[in-house]
Structure 1
Amino acid sequence: MSPRPHFLVLTFPLQGHIAPALRLARRLLAVAPDALVTFSTAAAAHRRMFADADDGQGRGSDEDDRLELLPFSDGTENGFAKGGGASELNDYMASFHVSGRRSVGDHLDALAARGRPVSRVVYTLLLPWAADVARERGVPSALYWIQPVAVLAIYYHYFHGHAAAIDDHRHDHSFPVDLPGLPTLTIGDIPSFLTDATDPNDYFHGVFATFRDLFDTLDREKPKATVLVNVFRELEETTLAAVGAYDVLTIGPVLPSGDEDQAGLFKQENNKYMEWLDARPAGSVVYVAFGSITVMAKGQIDELLPGLDETGRPYICVVRKDNKADLAVDGDVSAAASENGMVVEWCDQVRVLSHPAVGCFVTHCGWNSVLESVAAGVPMVSVPQMSDQRMNARLVERDWRVGVRAELDDGVLRAAELRRRVDEVMGEGEAAAEVRRTAAAWKRAVEEALGKGGSSDRNLMAFVESARSGGN
């Protein structure tokens, strides 16, 4: 009888990392009914997410005890305090690496002692030490890359001999960049951690250094590092050759099923927005959300809500509670919405995008949001700001042709620009109709990739079988 596979899924304590990691954990349970999964993130995030499931010893369980919820220590009591400066973030990253490495090592030893040995460690971005901890114990590991293959390729080439092509022109966003296996890009397409955070004084320099360590870690894996990518092969087939140094398995989009996606760092008070959507015509609603960490520029609300009103279309706009404080908004933002719109602090984005009333997604272009929109067949208006979002926006507009990119004015999406871009994907013209047709075609491609025997289904099953057999 084949051994029972046990996956330890580790993730950085940010919502944009937690969501795809927890979805993968549950997906592994679904495709391998005999599998065990232990899901682990930093303790402060664990407490926010799983208070109801906690057993009093910091652990919890789900899925008939096949899914164990086990936090690791990042060396702090309450995690990173938002609002700190660059030195505070760098100090946190250093603590996260040292304490996380020690804590996860202890977990691996304890799980083995309990008769629940881990057969494969799976870790998301910003945990380069996870592979080292696994290797020290003879346990194979896999990086779960939660950005597109094209961004993986950019990072790979930057840390393998092509840094100067970016560093020498990093302040000129129009400068062309040629990297092996990729079309000609511009500096403005390159992830911000490679154009801004290389400076030791930059706020995100600790993140840049962690990516550098990550690729150094991957280089030490023999014969090849295994990288699971949250994308489906057909979406980036021509780019896969650019990362041939790794054993890349496209297994996405890894989406939630049922209500399980509500386990996250943000909680919604109610789902009245779904009833509101039910009363709107098909394809009529503009949905606006800028993710879990993106901070709106000062004055953005003053442009955003009037711009949405000027489209003449119903809308749902997400303004996080913490973002309201950053914006120093006076009064209730929800009250500023017109009768045609609704402002909420958080929502179940997959359910919203899957609702037939939604016809457009105005998004910061975080990778989770892009994938969820592609899977739902909803055209996008991209408003990228940082990290991989600029490259994601390029892919949305130029490669997949499922959206357009808005231009910012001093960091602000102006009302007129919002109205113009929404019309480009929701209007009556042929160009808008073509975007909608293309979005619908990609939705069908997602269904095929995730369906039985589809490219993502085959790759995930192959990964499970390799864990079962003990292969790398």
Structure 2
Amino acid sequence: MSPPRPHFLVLTFPLQGHIAPALRLARRLLAAAPDVLVTFSTAEAAHSLMFPAKSTEHGGDDPRLEFRPFSDGTEAGDSRSSDDDGDAGSLTTKMASFHAAGARGVAGLLDALAARGRPVTRVVYTLLLPWAAGVARERGVPSALYWIQPAAVFAIYHHYFNGHAAGVVAEHRHDPSFVVEIPGLAPQTIGDLPSFLTDSTDPSDALHSIFTTIRDLIESLDKERPRATVLVNTCQELEAGALAAMGAHDVLPVGPVLPSGDEEAAGIFEHDDARYMEWLDTQPASSVVYVSFGSLSTMAREQLDELLRGLEESGRPYLCVVRKDIKAALGEAEAAEMVGERRLRNGVAVEWCDQVRVLSHAAVGCFVTHCGWNSVLESVASGVPMACVPGMSDQRVNAQLVVRDWRAGVRARVDGGGVLRAAEVRRCVDEVMGDSEAAAEVRRMAGEWKRAVAEAIGKGGSSERNLVAFVDGARSDF
């Protein structure tokens, strides 16, 4: 009897920033060997947004890829947001329900796949699913964490939750300039640490349950024997030092994990029509400022007004993402006034777009970004320098990597109320796209990192070798 084919169950939390890199990894696993099978699974609410009106069993032209949702026992709230109404109790209850019901749902999915003659041989799960490894272990299936943030962030969490610097951070968390020493990393200021370690440790904080979920995830890795396997969406060339500081795990950098060819990963947002690409075709090379703050960040009227005014005053063409939910919060009339053609003389506003295609376009010369890790990697891979406006979670660390370590961007300063003012927008755009020697150096470094990343993910590159080794290693699981 021939052994079963390698079959990876890729599990992800139901947020766009998790779904995109997880689905991209699923397709990379398929490409690594012709006999690989993959089942991609997220919670039912997000699954229904990904596939609102079509069959969800197979992954397009490749029958080796299936999409199967897992039950989370509830409607799981809004898959676009991790916080209902700013109330700590409601999110804590929601996350507890998600953890318990999700574990049951994935256990049932594993059993159902085995009963169909398609047994899973390795579970791969993203962060915020600390129970996934336990469910796999109960059924004798090896697992691997897919870390979709930088290695530096994992190293910070690892050392924090293993007794290093937690007391120091707690004592000085209101002093953003205080410097913390973390093994294997350059000195970090409190203000540049992941926000969940400085803003969400108190049980009364709205996002405290995210802090505890990350803690549980880091602690669960210590239960894996002999060592936990951690795939990281980065490459050796970008984060050599941080990768070495990630602790006693089998760490495999396999990124940047990008879309295969022209095929973008499915998601829970609908793209605008492709007219924005036609508009880009009419613009000179490296002339356009692209602006997007991701799938979760909110934007009040004052911030949107300052942002658009700064872009207009920069005198450069721009493409700005203003999500549908942000426009809805403004109200129909006000949204029409703010992002209508009369206001946007030099630019175009879209509700969502194919970001990889935009960043890959020759006309784009600067990315004003919230510094979500997916956005950072997509920009690096495209050679587009960044103006960094970090907000929450890992984004402050990501901005530090872009500006300090890679020198491929500049850091924007917000005012005391957290607003990015028009003058600062103009300054950052000019420091990336202007004629100064410093701007030219930022652009040069962006080009250098683009070449380094292309080598890492190309045939025989460091990340490509690691992914093939992971797939080959999975064959020893059975």
TM range (shorter): over 0.9
Q: TM-score, normalised by structure 1?
A: 0.96
* Corresponding residue of 1:100: 102
Render the CA deviation track for 1:73-132: whole Å, top value 9, x for unaligned.
Answer: 112135348543322211110111000000100111111111101111000010010000
In the aligned structure 2, how far is the partner of 1:278 from the partner of 1:259? 17
- 1:48-59 aligned at under 5 Å gives the runs 48-54=49-55, 59=57
* Corresponding residue of 1:42: 43
SS in 2 for 1:248: strand
Render the CA deviation track for 1:423-466: whole Å, top value 9, x for unaligned.
Answer: 00100011100111110010001110011110000000000001
Q: 1:209 Cα deviation (Å)?
A: 0.8
SS in 2 for 1:254: coil
SS in 1 for 2:149: coil
Judge conservation of contact 1:60–1:70 (CA < 8 Å) in 2.
no
**1:360 is aligned to 2:361:** no
* Corresponding residue of 2:133: 131
- 1:227-238 aligned at under 5 Å gives the runs 227-238=230-241
SS in 1 for 2:245: helix
In the aligned structure 2, how far is the partner of 1:262 from the partner of 1:273? 19
In the aligned structure 2, how far is the partner of 1:253 from the partner of 1:331? 36
Render the CA deviation track for 1:337-391: whole Å, top value 9, x for unaligned.
Answer: 4332001100000000000000000000000000000000000000001000001
- 1:189-228 aligned at under 5 Å gives the runs 189-228=192-231
What amino acid sits opposite 1:197 in the alignment?
S
In the aligned structure 2, how far is the partner of 1:336 from the partner of 1:371? 34
Q: 1:52 Cα deviation (Å)?
A: 3.6
What amino acid sits opposite 1:30 in the alignment?
A
**1:387 is aligned to 2:387:** no
What amino acid sits opposite 1:414 in the alignment?
R
In the aligned structure 2, how far is the partner of 1:252 from the partner of 1:354? 17
Render the CA deviation track for 1:147-197: whole Å, top value 9, x for unaligned.
Answer: 000000000011001211211111111111001111111001110111111
In the aligned structure 2, how far is the partner of 1:337 from the partner of 1:444? 38
SS in 2 for 1:65: strand
What amino acid sits opposite 1:228 in the alignment?
L
What amino acid sits opposite 2:242 in the alignment?
T
Q: 1:291 Cα deviation (Å)?
A: 0.1
- Tell me which of 340, 343, 346 is aligned to 1:334: 340
Q: 1:221 Cα deviation (Å)?
A: 0.6
Q: 1:3 Cα deviation (Å)?
A: 4.3
Q: 1:241 Cα deviation (Å)?
A: 1.6
In the aligned structure 1, how far is the partner of 2:201 from the partner of 2:466? 35
Q: 1:259 Cα deviation (Å)?
A: 4.8
Distance change in 2, residues 1:60/1:78 (3 Å) = farther
- 1:234-383 aligned at under 5 Å gives the runs 234-261=237-264, 263-328=266-331, 330-332=334-336, 333-383=339-389
Q: 1:325 Cα deviation (Å)?
A: 2.7
In the aligned structure 2, how far is the partner of 1:354 from the partner of 1:265? 22
**1:91 is aligned to 2:123:** no
**1:436 is aligned to 2:446:** no
Q: Which moved more, 1:422-431 or 1:237-246?
A: 237-246
Q: 1:310 Cα deviation (Å)?
A: 1.0
In the aligned structure 1, how far is the partner of 2:281 from the partner of 2:210? 42
What amino acid sits opposite 1:289 in the alignment?
S
Q: 1:244 Cα deviation (Å)?
A: 3.2
Judge conservation of contact 1:295–1:326 (CA < 8 Å) in 2.
no
Alignment RMSD (CA, Å): 1.5
What amino acid sits opposite 2:345 in the alignment?
E
Q: 1:60 Cα deviation (Å)?
A: 4.8
- Tell me which of 461, 468, 477 is aligned to 1:454: 461
Judge conservation of contact 1:193–1:204 (CA < 8 Å) in 2.
yes
SS in 1 for 2:430: helix
Aligned length: 468
* Corresponding residue of 1:412: 419
* Corresponding residue of 1:25: 26
**1:62 is aligned to 2:47:** no
In the aligned structure 1, how far is the partner of 2:4 from the partner of 2:193? 43
In the aligned structure 2, how far is the partner of 1:425 from the partner of 1:153? 30
Q: 1:274 Cα deviation (Å)?
A: 0.4
Judge conservation of contact 1:53–1:60 (CA < 8 Å) in 2.
no
Q: 1:288 Cα deviation (Å)?
A: 0.3
In the aligned structure 1, how far is the partner of 2:256 from the partner of 2:265? 18
In the aligned structure 2, how far is the partner of 1:302 from the partner of 1:108? 49
In the aligned structure 2, how far is the partner of 1:181 from the partner of 1:200? 30
Q: 1:10 Cα deviation (Å)?
A: 0.2
Q: Which moved more, 1:326-335 or 1:178-187?
A: 326-335
In the aligned structure 2, how far is the partner of 1:328 from the partner of 1:385? 24
Q: 1:322 Cα deviation (Å)?
A: 0.5
Q: 1:27 Cα deviation (Å)?
A: 1.0
Judge conservation of contact 2:24–2:265 (CA < 8 Å) in 1.
no
In the aligned structure 2, how far is the partner of 1:172 from the partner of 1:313? 37
Judge conservation of contact 1:194–1:208 (CA < 8 Å) in 2.
yes
Q: TM-score, normalised by structure 2?
A: 0.95
* Corresponding residue of 2:75: 77
SS in 1 for 2:40: strand
Judge conservation of contact 2:28–2:260 (CA < 8 Å) in 1.
no
What fraction of aligned residue pairs are identical, expressed as a percent? 69
Q: 1:50 Cα deviation (Å)?
A: 1.5
